[in-house]
């Protein structure tokens, strides 16, 4: 299950996000979206978890949680259509 994490602080790291989500299951991948010009976080990223049950548990528990002074939003990522 691929999750979209929004409203992240620009200072939040992939390592912090990975360990936060690891509390709810295995994290297959964790990617912060970075600005190509500045090299800084754009304030959102993606986490992939191998099972829907782990993803749903993480989503329910982490959505609205405060992280680095901001309330993060976690939802299922929508698949891009070509």
- Judged on CB neighbours under 10 Å (0-12, 13-18, 19+), 40 is exposed
Using one digit for the tens of pLDDT, what is the confidence trace for 3-62? Answer: 999 999 999 999 999 999 999 999 999 999 999 999 999 999 999 999 999 999 999 999
Give the C-alpha separation, 19 to 35, whole Å. 23
pLDDT at residue 82 is higher than 90: no
Residues sharing a CB contact under 8 Å with residue 19, sequence separation 6 or more, in sequence order: none
Number of structural domains in the chain? 1
In a domain, 82, yes or no: no
Give the C-alpha separation, 34 to 46, whole Å. 12
CATH of the domain at 18: 3.30.70.330
| Predicted structure pTM score | 0.91
Structural domain of residue 15, as residue ranges? 2-74
Structural contact between residues 33 and 45, judged by C-beta atoms closer than 8 angstroms = yes
């Amino acid at each position: 299950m691929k999750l979209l994490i929004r409203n992240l602080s620009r200072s939040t790291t992939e390592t912090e996000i990975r360990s936060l989500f690891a509390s709810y299951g295995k994290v297959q991948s964790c990617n912060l979206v970075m600005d190509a010009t500045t090299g800084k976080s754009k304030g959102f990223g993606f986490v992939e978890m191998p099972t829907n049950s782990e993803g749903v548990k993480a989503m329910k528990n982490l959505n609205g949680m405060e992280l680095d002074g901001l309330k993060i939003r976690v939802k299922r990522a929508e698949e891009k259509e070509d």
